[in-house]
Every structure is written in structure tokens, then in C-alpha cells.
Amino acid sequence: MQISEAIQYDSDSYDVIVVGAGHAGCEAALAAARMGNKTLLVTISLEMVAFMPCNPSLGGPAKGVVVREIDALGGEMGHNIDKTYIQMRMLNTSKGPAVRALRAQADKHAYHRQMKWTLEKQANLTLRQATVDDLIVEDGVCHGVITNTGARYRAKTVVLTVGTAARGKIIIGELQYESGPNNSKSATKLSECLERLGFDLERFKTGTPPRINGNTINYDETEEQPGDETPHHFSFDTPDSKYLSVSDQISCWLTYTNPHTHDIIRQNLDRAPMFSGVIKGVGPRYCPSIEDKIVRFADKDRHQLFLEPEGRDTDEYYVDGLSTSMPEEIQQRMLHSVKGLEKASLMRPGYAIEYDVVSPYQLRPTLETKRIKNLYTAGQTNGTSGYEEAAGQGLIAGINAGLRALGKKPFVLQRSEAYIGVMIDDLVTKGTKEPYRLLTSRAEYRLLLRHDNADFRLMGKGHEIGLVSDERYQKMLAKKAAVKAEVARLESLRLKPGSPADDFIQQHGDHPLKDAVTAATLLKRPYFDYQTLLKFIPAPEKPLDRQVAEQVEITLKYEGYIKKEEVRVNRLKRMEAKKIPEDIDYSAIEGLATEGRQKLDKIRPETLAQASRISGVNPADLAILSVYIQQGKIAKRSDRK
Amino acid sequence: MNSEDDTITAISTPVGEGGISIIRVSGDEAIPIVKKLFVGKDLAKVASHTINYGHIVDPKTHEEVDEVMVSVMRAPKTYTREDVCEINCHGGLLATNRILQLTIAAGARMAEPGEFTKRAFLNGRLDLSQAEAVMDLIRAKTDKSMKVALGQLDGDLSRLIRKLRQEILNVLAQVEVNIDYPEYDGAETMTSKMMHDHAVTIQKKIEKLLATAREGKILRDGLATAIIGRPNVGKSSLLNSLLHEDKAIVTNVAGTTRDVIEEYVNVKGVPLKLIDTAGIRHTEDKVEKIGVERSKKAIEQADLILLLIDSSQKLTDEDRELIKQTSASPRIIIYNKADLPAQVDVKELQSLVGDSRIIKTSMTEHQGVDQLSQAIAKLFFNEGVESSQNTVMVTNARHIGLLRQADSALDDVLKGLADGMPVDLVQIDMRRAWDLLGQITGDSYQDELLDQLFSQFCLGK
């Protein structure tokens, strides 16, 4: 016990308590409260609610799909960014539908304020500033939290989303100090509590670049990157009419480092904490610091820098690509060596931050810890990086904490259902050696996990959980029906040889039609899209929504590939259905290889499919395991007789 | 990943024994897979538990492989309680293996030892008392077979496969970096044209490797060879002559059948497995014993037939019958006793044997044996085996099956590109090729891709 007994007092009881109000915590608390649980959200600082201490940006490849998934399940991130973005861009438009990605630049202060306000207005939800120092744990079950002010809050379930505050340490050159993100308070005692409870903690590192004053940028020397004209939003509910015109959006600017910048860094590597041994935490490969880039890719003579505005009512700019923990003096010299930034005025130096992570093999796919019942963790605490990854986990942890409090069955997304499912399965099955970021290549079924079909994939589930209203659900079903009807119509409409469509085909150098073909078949040809097709066939009774037309086009154009993926998914589903008994004793199964046995016992997979993804578990182990399970089932059946 | 839901295939009769071999295919896809290879009745429509006559045809080359009977048994009343197809074929080693490979190329996976029995158990067909036996079976065989399978991989082959995989990986990483880091300027954009060129190059290498498959198979298992002819045509002399010609007899293996002795002889680098040499020795002197029945069996098992004709006598009905019986097999006609005055109607003989090569020999004068050896080598290796001894060969049916699947995945890549599909979709098939090759070398981890991504490109957005 760390808090003096004398000041402790019994405060209120809740169904669900969420510790930390970053992107994970906000989703967790909102989900639990919206499901009807009396919920407490505790944060070290109310000024840090849904704060973006790194990029003022959301979405992009894989991450953008997660935002859509959160929205479809009834989470808040999509709504919040749609209300506070200052630029919207669809990336990968020249590529296939599976990899198109929406990204927004956020007004980071508006984003924070909007989320805080949403929390304040939410029924069943109490938002309170306090530091959680200890957990109330009895017989391996978590019953609540104790704050630094001595308040004992009891709850049915607790979700920890501590983020980089967990024993956080900021490093700038030779300077080191205890701190959470952006000089907020760090949380030390909670880490100690987790260690006492027997959790295996690891040390990770991440970092951010310096911020500069936009009035001191010479924009003439940089390249403008404006937003899109075509409307796109993250949330299913935001109408196109709300879209900001390009002139109301704020541009980003592109510039580059140069050999001179690299020389400055090289000459001062002895002062770089990354290389001097000061930083011990493991950093992410996909988001390296500039000093790391220059050492590892010595032959590159320039690196891109994106200057990103941090909001509407500020001139502070984020220098994306220049993440660093070099001393402040060197940071200034680096900045001034860059074209357009010769006179840039530094507002905040970049820094590296080290923090504690709960090694995620200690978690179930519901994000409940295996060690302590009714305790859940989410976000950076589980070893991920990124606001979207955090929010996705927060939502799942919040849903499951809420379901447990309500006495209902848990909720798990499969790899074939959502990027969120891919991420959580990766974390709990394979663990992670560096801050984990979602990439499209991590998803083996990415053609099925598109941002444009997140509503079809997940809104039904959100509705079942109680996070999606009947009205919203019906709207989705109506959209689905409209897609189905138009697909059926195109499959029945036939175009004959000699028709204008045939002329169009020949203009594109294709062979003339021999027999009549359906409109659906024509849509598969590369030079046809839905709008082109409409020139040759009767228009539908009423014009289709943009989103419906898009679905029709994707469904038909990529049908062959989609079917192929669905076959693979069905096979996976059958293996996911093969559950491993929770109390299985791996030491009692003869014939397992030693490595396989150890890994199985450490991860304790819930299904045979999950077991098959553990590295070190070989096919022979799986075969023996499946026979062993079947044996147990038969034995049970004959017991009952 | 080996899954319990895969459709599996294996030769379920002892190899090299008996006149008939059975290839058993079990799983959801069993009937569709065999259907792809079968010319005859539509197997999808035939009644369950029927046996159907037809031919196995290579769907890629349209070449007929064997005349077969296919049993179709639908779940649940089957050994595994899954859909099962059994292909009964003529049993020659080459034909049986070829059919096995075709089932793998069509989508089945090579069964692990004991896997049919394991499935029977998992699907509730065997009872608990049998479970232990199943476990023992898996324990004893799976680890061993995995080791054997990986051990079989000779260094050159695995180096070659790893190189191929690395080539594919470079393509994959470039596509992925374009997708995940669309604004990153350090990676060239992978265009359809580039993807096409890479796919073609890689496919050529795979096909070159596959072309060695048949040779490799022969080198490993020997070419089942039958010496056929009516009594007193000189079979025994030919046998002795071949054995004499090459002192390096590989081995004498006692077969399981009482009197079958297999003798191996190396002819210009082609290991011949001579069938029923004992039979030849026993019957040759006894004029009354007719070899036809015995020959029939030997013909069924053989991959190569050496048919002897006594040129010093007129063709008999027996000769004509043997010529007819062997017409479907690779064969060489040996025009023996060429030292004696010819009595055979050469024109008739030529019209009867068609395209088959005729070699004139005299066993007593020791003539023509060298030409015969060359003809054998030429028949099986286009340029003789010596010239290809330094190249990497694929000999394992599982490896061949996987290579063929990888080959067809690359076909899909090219087809997708031709249909104007975007590179990131075509990537699905490219990645499948990579995974399949990885199953040969035993490394198929997604982490490799991420490692490649982050070591090749300096990513930071």
C-alpha cells in the first residue's frame, strides 16, 4: 500500500472505471457509459483529454480504416475528427479500393475540446481529474482504484489506458526528467502496483519532432499540399454537405533535409541519447528519429519534412519527419539548415519519451489481463503507437469491461472482420518487440477489410452491443439493400453487339461483342466505371448515393478477388470455431515439443487458429493438440451418459 | 499453415507394390479437385459411392496421364467422414506420382503421415480407445516426416528457392511501401508493367525448376523397366548384357512379393529398376511356360518397356499381342538376333509399332547394346542426363506440387494484370506464390515482409 491509510476514504462505486483519458480511455469510457454502465473516467489532467502530443493528424493507410471501424461500432473518434478537421485527403486514389485511405489534419486543440465536451455531456459518465496510484485487488480480482487524493473508488471492472505517462521519462540531449507526454505529470506508482501484482513490464520509447512558429517559415521555399475538393468524412453520419471547401481547409507544406543538415547531426552523434546509450527503450522502426534515419540510411542525401499546422487559432507547426532527441541547440541548427526554415523560430523542442508497457501476451483477446480478473488494458500501455490503434483497443476494452459489468458474453473481433481484430490478435498472440503500428500488410484479408465497407462489416455488431441506435442501423441496412438491388439490376441488364456500348468497347481497342453481355460483366473491364456504364443503360429509378454507387462498383469490379478472399476466410472461421478449453494443462499432453509447449502455456490461445499463429508451435504440436481436445470432448460425452 | 480444413491427398497403396495404385483425396474440395483432372462423367453429379471410368488429364498441358477408375464417396459415410475421392490408376511409379502432383497442383495438400486416420478420429468416426493409437502415430511420424521433408531439401534447392522468394519479397515490399507510405519519395512506384515483368521472370525460373522434376524423380526412384518378349527371344541375354555392361549394380532389393527381385542397373546415368528379373530367369529356359500373363503384370507396373522381337523368326500372334499391349507405354522395340538371317517382315513390324524406336541388336555378338543404352537415355532426358547433373533438381512430390501451385499463382498475377486489376490486388496472388515457396523451405513468416520493408526503405511519416 503506497497511499497513506490515513487520508483514504471510500468514495463512490461504479460499474466501470477507466484510468486515463487519451484516445483509448475516451473510447473505453464512452462505450461503457453508452451501454448503460455507471462509469468513471479518471485523468491526470483534464487539459490532456484526447490530446495529440504527436502529429496533428488522424487516419491514413490502415489507421484510417480503424477510424471507420470505430465509427461503425459506435465509437466517437470519427465524429470528433469530422467536427474538428482542418484538412481532408484521400490517399492512394490511383490504387485499388482495398488500400484507399482517408487522412485528416486535426485542429488538435479543437479536437481535445470537442472530445472533452462530449464526455461532459455523456449520461452515466463522470469525468474527474486525479492520479490513480493503486488498484484494489482481492484474490486475483480487481475491484477498483485508489487515487493520490486518497479516494477509494470501487467498480465491477477497471480499464487502464495509461499511455506514455506510465513512469514516463522525457529525454532531450543530455537533459532527462520524469514526465508524461508534453510535460504533463507522469504516473509512477501505478507501474509499481502492476509490478507488485506480477505483471511483466517492458520499456518502450517514442519521440516527437520540434514545433516552430509558422510566421517564421519561408513558404516560398516549400511545396504546398492542399486538401481535397471531393468530400469525404470519417463518420457514417456526417453528410457531404458539411464538407469544408478547399479554401476553408489549411494546407501542409513540404520541404527536405539536405547534406548540410545530415552533417550537423553526424557531427553531434556523441550527444544523441539514441546512440550514447542513454535511451534504453525500444523505439519503432516505422517512425525513426532523424538521427536514426541518417545513420541507417547513410546514402540518402535528403529526407522529406512535412510542415503540419497544429490548428486554426495557432501558428504553431509540427515538423513531421524530424523526430529527434538531440540537444535543443542542435535541433535549432538542424532546423535552420533546411530550406524554408532558415529563420524558423523554435517553439518546443522535440523529445524522446520512455514509458512502461504491459507485455501484451499477458492479455486475452478481450483485452482483459489473464493475471487479474476484471482488469483490462488498452492503448500504448499494450505496446501500440498511434491514436487510432489506441482508440480501437480502448473501444474493445470498454465494450468488454461494460459487457462484464452487465454480466454479458465478451466481444472479440476476428482477423477476418476488422483491422482492430488483426491488431489485437497480433498483440496477444505474437506480442511486439517495438511500438506496434498497424500497416495494411499486417492484414491478410485486406480486400475485405476496406474503409468503405466498415459500416457493413461492423454496424450490426455495434447495434447488438447497444452502441448503434436502431435508426442508424436501419439506415445502414437501407444502404445495403440499395447496393444489392443495383447489383441485381446490372446483372440482369444485357447489352447487345452493335449497341453504343459495343462501339465504346471497340474505341478502347477491345474485341467487338460476340453475344449480349450483362452490364455487370462490362463493369469488370478496366475502362468502365459505374458512371460510364450509366451512359449505356437506363438510369436507376432514383439516382444512387455516392457511397452506394461506390459499393456497387467495387462489388462487381473486384468480385473474383473478393470471392477468393471469402473462401480463405471461411476456412479460417472453422478453425477459429475450435476452442481450446481454458483450463487445459499443457504439461499433461504427451508429445508436444518443448518449445511448442512453453509457447502454448505462455500465450494460452483460445482457439486452434490462434495457436497456429504462434511462432514456435509446429504442425505436429497442433495435430496433437487437436486430437487431445477431441479426446477430452469424447470423454466428457461418455461421462454424461 | 497446415489446417485441418485443407483437402489432403496421398498415395494410399504401398509404393511399387501391386498392379494398382490408389491416390486418396479427402476434404471439402476433394470432388472439385479431382473433377479438374478427370475426363469422364461429371464427378460433381455422380451418385455417392460409385466408381467411375475415365482418364486423368493434366489440365495445363491437356496431356493424358493415365486410364483410371475414380471412386466418389460423399460425407459422412466415408473413412474420414469427409468427401473422399479415390483414384485407382495403373500403378507405375511415374504415373502415380504424376497424378498425386496434379491433385496437389489443383489445390490439395500433401497429407501428413497418419492424417487420414487423424481426421477419422477428429470427425468422430473412431472411438476413444483408438485415440491413443492416433496420437502415437502422429508423434512417431509427423516430427520425423517433417525432419525428413526438410532434410531432403538439398542445399542448392533451398538456396534457389530462397533466392526466388527474395525476388518476390522485393516486389511485395515495394508495393506495400507504396500503399502504406503513399507520400514517401524514396521508393519507386510499382507499375503494372514492372509487376508483369517481375512475374514473368520469376515464373520462368519456377518453370525451369519444374522441368527438372521428372528427371529428378527418375534419378531418385529409378525407372521401372520391364523386359518383355515371348520365350527364347533373348530376354535373359539382354538382362545379362545390361548387367554386364554396367558393373555398378546399385542394389538388390528383396520385394515383399515372394519371388520378385528388383535389380537396379545404371544405363548412361538412368537408373533402371528392372522388374521381375527372377521371372525372366526362371521362365526363359522352359519353352512350355508362356510369359504372357506374367508380362501383363510387368507391363502394368513399368515406366519403360523393352520389347524383344526375334528377327530370325516370323512374327507370331504372341509378338503381335505384346506389341498391342505395350502400345500405350514408353517403349523401345529390340530387333534381336540381328546376326542371324532375318525372317521378320520389317514393314509389318514398323506398321505395328508405329513411332516406337526400333534398335537392332545381337546379344551373342554383343552388338547394339550401346545404341540401346543411348536410346533409353534419350527417351527420358532430352539431352542425356550427364549434361544436367550440375543443375538443381526437384524430386519430392510435395515440392513439385507446391512449385506448380506457385506457378499457377503467378498465372493469376499475369491474368489479373491483363484484366487491368490494380497492382495491390494482384499482390494477393503474388503473395500466395511467396507463401507457397516458403512452405518448401519451411519459412513463411509475415515478419519477413515487415523486416524487408523497414530495412529497405527509410520510412518516417
- Tell me, what CATH number does B174's domain have? 1.20.120.430
Q: What is the DSSP string of B217-253?
A: HHHHH-EEEEEE-STTSSHHHHHHHHHHH------EE
Stated pTM of the model:
0.81
Residues A461-490 pLDDT 10s: 999 999 999 999 999 999 999 999 999 999
A281, pLDDT greater than 70: yes
The reported pLDDT for the residue numbered A451 is 95
CB-CB under 8 Å, A91 with B5: no
Q: Return the amino acid letter for B123.
A: N
Residues A358-411 pLDDT 10s: 999 999 999 999 999 999 999 999 999 999 999 999 999 999 999 999 999 999
Of B96, B127, B158, which residue is a domain's last? B127
The reported pLDDT for the residue numbered B225 is 85
In the sheet that holds A101-106, the strands lie side by side as A57-59, A101-106, A85-91
User: Cα separation of B87 and B70, whole Å?
Assistant: 5
User: Cα separation of B268 and B386, whole Å?
Assistant: 8
Q: Has residue B298 been placed in a domain?
A: yes
Q: Has residue B453 been placed in a domain?
A: no
The reported pLDDT for the residue numbered B142 is 45
CB-CB under 8 Å, B122 with A92: no
How many CB contacts within 8 angstroms connect chain A with chain B? 146
Within 8 A of B458 by CB-CB distance, chain A residues are 288, 293, 296-297, 300, 303
- B229 and B356: one domain? yes
In this complex, the residue of A300, A442, A615 whose CB is nearest that of residue B445 is A615
The reported pLDDT for the residue numbered A67 is 98
B152, pLDDT greater than 80: no
The reported pLDDT for the residue numbered B253 is 35
CB-CB under 8 Å, A630 with B180: no
Q: Has residue B454 been placed in a domain?
A: no
Per-residue confidence band for A641, with pLDDT thresholds at 50, 70 and 90:
very low
- B374 and B230: one domain? yes
Q: Is A290 annotated as a binding residue?
A: yes
Q: What percent of chain A has pLDDT over 70?
A: 98
CB-CB under 8 Å, B423 with A303: no
Q: Are A323 and A207 in contact (CB under 8 A)?
A: yes
User: Coil, helix or strand for A587?
Assistant: helix
User: Cα separation of B369 and A421, whole Å?
Assistant: 70
CB-CB under 8 Å, A574 with B5: yes
The reported pLDDT for the residue numbered B248 is 30
Q: Has residue B457 been placed in a domain?
A: no
Average pLDDT over residues A146-161: 97
Mutate to test the interface with A, among B179, B415, B444 (most CBs of A within 10 A): B179
B383, pLDDT greater than 80: no
Mutate to test the interface with B, among A93, A208, A607, A630 (most CBs of B within 10 A): A630
Residues A229-256 pLDDT 10s: 999 999 999 999 999 999 999 999 999 9
B233, pLDDT greater than 70: yes
Q: To the nearest whole angstrom, how far is the Cα of B445 from the nearest Cα of chain A? A: 9
Give the residue, A428 or B305, on which the prediction is more confident: A428
> Which residues lie below 8 Å from residue B133, measured CB to CB, with a gap of 6+?
none
CB-CB under 8 Å, B131 with A98: no
* Cell representation of residue B426: 494482384
Question: Residue B224 maps to which CATH number?
Answer: 3.40.50.300
- B228 and B338: one domain? yes
- B234 and B297: one domain? yes
Of B356, B388, B420, which residue is a domain's last? B388
Give the ipTM of the model, two decimals please. Answer: 0.85
- B233 and B382: one domain? yes
- B269 and B317: one domain? yes
CB-CB under 8 Å, B139 with A591: yes
Q: Has residue B237 been placed in a domain?
A: yes
Which residues on neighbouring strands pair with residue B254, listed in sequence order? Answer: B261
Per-residue confidence band for B247, with pLDDT thresholds at 50, 70 and 90:
very low
A582, pLDDT greater than 50: yes
- B168 and B307: one domain? no
Q: What percent of chain A has pLDDT over 90?
A: 82
Give the residue, B141 or B349, on which the prediction is more confident: B349
Q: Are B83 and B9 in contact (CB under 8 A)?
A: no
Give the residue, A463 or B243, on which the prediction is more confident: A463
- B372 and B261: one domain? yes
The per-residue pLDDT of chain A, averaged, comes to 93
- B339 and B240: one domain? yes
Q: What is the number of residues in chain A?
A: 641
The reported pLDDT for the residue numbered A215 is 98
User: Cα separation of B176 and B67, whole Å?
Assistant: 47
Q: Find the residue in A nearest to B190 (Cα).
A: A95
Q: Which domain holds residue B59?
A: 8-127
Q: Has residue B50 been placed in a domain?
A: yes
The per-residue pLDDT of chain B, averaged, comes to 77
Residues B108-144 pLDDT 10s: 988 876 778 778 877 877 665 566 666 665 555 444 4
User: Cα separation of B385 and B380, whole Å?
Assistant: 8
B282, pLDDT greater than 60: no
- B378 and B435: one domain? no
User: Cα separation of B135 and A497, whole Å?
Assistant: 63
Q: To the nearest whole angstrom, how far is the Cα of A612 from the nearest Cα of chain B? A: 7
Per-residue confidence band for B148, with pLDDT thresholds at 50, 70 and 90:
very low
> Which residues lie below 8 Å from residue B319, measured CB to CB, with a gap of 6+?
B229, B230, B309
The reported pLDDT for the residue numbered A491 is 95
Of B127, B160, B185, which residue is a domain's last? B127
User: Cα separation of A543 and B231, whole Å?
Assistant: 87
- B324 and B400: one domain? no
Residues A308-361 pLDDT 10s: 999 999 999 999 999 999 999 999 999 999 999 999 999 999 999 999 999 999
CB-CB under 8 Å, A631 with B450: no
Binding residues of B for Mg(2+): 236, 257
Q: Has residue B447 been placed in a domain?
A: no
Q: Has residue B28 been placed in a domain?
A: yes
Number of structural domains (chain B) is 3
- B398 and B382: one domain? no
Per-residue confidence band for A275, with pLDDT thresholds at 50, 70 and 90:
confident
Q: Are B429 and B416 in contact (CB under 8 A)?
A: yes
User: Coil, helix or strand for B417?
Assistant: helix
DSSP letter (8 states) at residue B391: S
B205, pLDDT greater than 70: yes
CB-CB under 8 Å, B4 with A620: no
CA R_g for chain A: 27
Binding residues of B for GTP: 232-237, 251-257, 276-279, 336-339
The reported pLDDT for the residue numbered B130 is 65
Per-residue confidence band for B66, with pLDDT thresholds at 50, 70 and 90:
confident
Per-residue confidence band for B329, with pLDDT thresholds at 50, 70 and 90:
confident
Query: Any idea which of A26-40, B34-48, B307-321, B362-376 has the lowest mean pLDDT?
Result: B362-376
What are phi and psi for residue B40, nearest 5 degrees? Answer: 160, -145
The reported pLDDT for the residue numbered B409 is 94
Give the residue, A229 or A7, on which the prediction is more confident: A229
* Cell representation of residue A12: 463512490
B182, pLDDT greater than 60: yes
Question: Residue B32 maps to which CATH number?
Answer: 3.30.1360.120
User: Cα separation of B412 and B394, whole Å?
Assistant: 23
* Cell representation of residue A355: 514509458
Q: What angle do CA B212, B218, B224 make, to 5 degrees?
A: 155
The reported pLDDT for the residue numbered B378 is 73
User: Cα separation of A16 and A207, whole Å?
Assistant: 32
A489 touching chain B per CB within 8 A: no
Q: Are A207 and A353 in contact (CB under 8 A)?
A: yes
Domains of chain A: 9-206+354-464 (3.50.50.60), 211-353 (2.40.30.260), 493-570 (1.10.10.1800), 578-631 (1.10.150.570)
CB-CB under 8 Å, B420 with A526: yes
Looking at chain B, the number of H-run helices and the number of E-run strands are: 15, 14
In this complex, the residue of B2, B179, B185 whose CB is nearest that of residue A92 is B179
A474 touching chain B per CB within 8 A: no
Within 8 A of B398 by CB-CB distance, chain A residues are none
In this complex, the residue of A320, A441, A444 whose CB is nearest that of residue B461 is A320
Average pLDDT over residues A41-68: 97
